[in-house]
Structure 1
Amino acid sequence: MPGKVVVRPSEERGYANHGWLDTHHTFSFANYYDPNYEEFGALRVINEDIVQPQKGFGTHSHREFEIFSYIISGELEHKDSMGNLEILKRGDVQFTTAGTGISHSEHNVHKTLPVHFLQIWVKPDNPKLSPAYHTKTFSESAKENKLVRIISPDKKHVPDTIGIHTDFHMYASLLDQGAKVTHKVQGNANDGDNKRKLYIHVIEKEGMKVLINGESLLKHGDGAFITEAISGDEIIFESVGNRTAEFVIFDLV
């Protein structure tokens, strides 16, 4: 089996319910701290957030990280110190290079429905980048029984992605019951040190289940660390739950 797989069950994540915010933390964040889960390569934060109607995060500051939101359902208003104001919906990925410093707010503008999204933080190779903002929409059809690449360090050669400033790739899929999809590990197989890491996260929706290489089972909200993967390895994902499985893959050094 390519690489070593360690499953992180959903219930082992950090958790808090603030009334207006229901949140799970894959890595140490806010009041949740676990020295075993502080980061994974350049990946520092995966928060799965559900924000109630007409509620949100007030204006706050970020610096050095690249921060992006993957919208699962609902409507999220983003407003920042660079003058950007946008309402994000399902399929949208909003990406901010915080660099030398930005401020922003995130607010659920819907009157009756919650917004459900992933917020991810990644450490770029250069923490002192100029602040920047990008949004891109990825259709349902692009994800259906396929892996769509969302973020890439080589936007010049992968123009349909959002560019990031480190060796980090993000993919997403909507996998029908019984369907399979294969991910080929990134990197140059001819390099001397071609070992890579992957993290897989299954969206927190009841009934979603994903089997990795026929052996490791992830249910909704679960994640998996894959280490010692080699560039060019093929990893097979199969949807084995009672509904279409939505999951994301992070492929990094």
Structure 2
Amino acid sequence: MSAQIVVRKSKDRGHANHGWLDTHHTFSFASYFDYKFQAFGSLRVINEDIVQPTTGFGTHPHQEFEIFSYIISGELQHKDSMGNVEILKAGDVQFTSAGTGITHSEYNIHPTLPVHFLQIWVKPDNPKLKPRYQTMNFPKTSKTNNLVHIISPVDDQDNSTIGINADFHMYASLLESGHKVMHTVQGAEKPRRVYIHLTSTGGELKINENTTLRQGDGAFVTEVKQGDEILFESIGDKIAEFVVFDLA
């Protein structure tokens, strides 16, 4: 395998602190724009957000995106125009296929604790889809020293993953110091690409024994194909919590 790995340091991401919201943007978003970082295949948004207690995002519209939140810590209340009301906690992944259009709000209703989560947007393979909502929980015990499959294309989906309308897979892990996990690249379409994000909760992650990520860093992996393997090793003194996106 001749994988090409390019690291995006945490400090190089877009950043805004609005008081109630401390947010980092991997790709151009809102007032942050960098022509070199607008998308990676169908992956359009990775925002790492920390929302303070009793604040949040008011009701706003979305369409033509697959939108999902990966809760790292705290609690996030979701409400949408489809009638869904839910309080999401660590380990939950909340998925919305916005399709032809929805509105939703996301609030931290906890009186004292912030909520820390990743917000991810992916362009679907087809437009004008019917909106859809799904939440699944992937507990800490399942992700510890394991790479758990969280999202898969609807055509390949089973009841252990959330289905997405794209050639896209998501995995997550909580890797203790000294432990390793392996990812096998999915999808028959060539070429494939992989993005890895190490959350800002700490830890250090080595990729293929020659690339190191520190908290908040990401890595763009190209020149890979179905069946190639990517090795991850936690080398810091804290648990490395990270997600992996495998896409066309």
Same fold (TM over 0.5): yes
Q: Is the 8 A contact 2:93 2:135 kept in 1?
A: yes
Q: Alpha-carbon deviation of 1:157?
A: 4.8
**2:205 aligned residue (196, 210, 233):** 210
Return the offset for 1:195.
1.9
* Root mean square deviation, CA, Å: 1.0
- The answer for the alignment partner of 2:66 in structure 1 is 66
User: Is the contact made by 1:197 and 1:227 (CA closer than 8 Å) also made in structure 2?
Assistant: yes
In structure 1, the partner of 2:222 is 227
- TM-score of the superposed pair, with normalisation by structure 1: 0.96
Deviations 1:38-68, CA, capped at 9 Å, x for gaps: 0000000000000000000000000000100
CA distance in 1, matches of 2:9, 2:182: 23
Cα distance in 2 between the residues matched to 1:247 and 1:86: 24
2:29 matches 1:34: no
2:238 equivalent to 1:240? no
List per-residue Cα deviations over 1:114-138 (Å, max 9, x = no partner). 0000000000011210111000000
How far 1:139 moved relative to its partner? 1.1
| 8 Å Cα contact 1:53/1:113 also seen in 2 | yes
Alpha-carbon distance in structure 1 between the residues aligned to 2:191 and 2:159: 26
User: Does the CA contact (< 8 Å) of 1:15 and 1:24 recur in 2?
Assistant: yes
Tell me if the contact between 1:73 and 1:115 (Cα under 8 Å) persists in the aligned partners.
yes
Matched, 1:128 2:92: no
1:104 aligned partner: 104
Q: TM-score when scaled to structure 2?
A: 0.98
Task: Name the SS of the counterpart of 1:241 in structure 2.
Answer: coil
- Aligned to 1:83, the other structure's residue is in SS state coil
Deviations 1:70-128 (A, max 9, x none): 00000100000110000000000000010000000000010000000000000001121
Pair 89,155 (structure 1): closer, same or farther in 2 beyond 3 Å: farther
Unaligned runs of at least 5 residues, structure 1 = none
| Runs of at least 5 residues in structure 2 that lack an aligned partner in the other structure | none
Counterpart residue identity of residue 217, structure 1: T
Task: Report how many residues are paired.
Answer: 248
1:163 match: secondary structure? strand
Shift of 1:194: 2.8
Q: Percent identical across equivalent pairs?
A: 65
Give the superposition deviation at 1:2: 4.0
Residue 194 of structure 1 is matched in structure 2 by: 190
Q: Could you tell me how far apart the structure 2 residues matched to 1:173 and 1:226 are?
A: 18
Specify the alignment match of 1:159 in structure 2.
159
**Are 2:181 and 2:233, in contact at CA under 8 Å, matched by a contact in 1?**
yes
SS at match of 2:86: strand
**Distance in 1 (alpha carbons) for counterparts of 2:40 and 2:157:** 26
Tell me, in whole angstroms, the C-alpha distance in 1 between the residues paired with 2:112 and 2:12: 30
Cα 1:98–1:157 change in 2 (3 A) is closer
Q: Higher mean Cα deviation, 154-163 or 62-71?
A: 154-163
Shift of 1:230: 1.4
Letter paired with 2:136: K
Retained in 2: the 8 A contact 1:155–1:161? no
Q: Aligned equivalents of 1:156 and 1:209: distance in 2?
A: 32
Q: Contact 1:2–1:233 (CA<8 Å) still a contact in 2?
A: no
CA contact (8 A) 2:157 2:163 kept: no
Alpha-carbon distance in 2 for matches of 1:19, 1:64? 30
